[in-house]
Amino acid sequence: MTKIWTSLFGHILTPPETVAEAVEMLLGLLSVEEKFEIAVMPKDKLFDLHFGLGLAIRNAFRLHEPGSKLLASCGTSHPNDASSVIISALWRALPTWEP
């Protein structure tokens, strides 16, 4: 996936506070094609999204900000790990997602 993800998230004013809210927001932002690409990825290939979608999530959802509720909800203190938690949760949600 070579998409420029940051353009998708430019309008986010208030970041989500929980992993579930983050996944819900991503489901609303991503196109059907993007969701399909993620859904069909093998779990061990999700790391390939780290520098694209993961970076966009870290920035748009403000995971680097002190006191981030979303970071705490991910159960980790590192934004990189938190974006991985969110991407994994998104991946698990996609097989049951319907357009």
pLDDT tens-digit series, residues 42-76:
999 999 999 999 999 999 999 999 999 999 999 99
Q: Domain locations in the chain? A: 2-96
Q: Decide: 9 and 53 in contact? Cβ < 8 Å.
A: no
74-83 contacts: CB < 8 A, separation 24 or more? 74/19, 80/50, 80/54, 82/58, 83/50, 83/53, 83/54, 83/55, 83/57, 83/58
Reported confidence tier of residue 5, pLDDT bands at 50, 70, 90: low
